[in-house]
Amino acid sequence: MRKILIAAVGVASLGLAGCQTVAQDRAVGGAVIGGAAGTAIGAVSTGTLGGALAGGAIGAVAGGVIGAATAPNEPCYVRGRSGALRRVAC
């Protein structure tokens, strides 16, 4: 039963994989990189598991915020009367 549940969650997550924007992609990437760097810095500087966990959490939050904030603006489109898409300022 557990394997079926894990497989179902995996298949469901594949359907949502294409539903991210550039800002979300950058936020996730920044969180992963920041979390890894924070974990390494916290572990080396304190030498404890708690320090590594705290560093990872702080790094993940900071990386996610910075990644989302540095995402380029996405273009906006409107559909005209003819049905054609045209780019407009957001």
Q: Is residue 49 part of a domain?
A: yes
> What confidence score (pLDDT) does residue 37 get?
94
Give residue 25's pLDDT band: very low, low, confident or very high (50, 70, 90): confident
State the pairing for strand pair 76-79/85-88.
antiparallel
Asked, for residue 12, whether it belongs to a domain, the answer is no
Answer whether residue 73 is part of any domain.
Answer: yes
The total number of structural domains in the chain stands at 1
* Three-class DSSP category at 87: strand
DSSP 20: -
Whether 13 is covered by a domain: the verdict is no
Give helix 22-46 / helix 49-69 axis angle, nearest 10°: 150
pLDDT digits (tens, 9 = 90+) for 26-73: 888 999 999 999 999 999 999 899 999 999 999 999 999 998 888 777
6 part of a folded domain: no
pTM of the model: 0.60
Domain that holds residue 46: 22-88
Whose structure tokens read 């005209």? 80
**64, 30 in Cβ contact below 8 A?**
yes
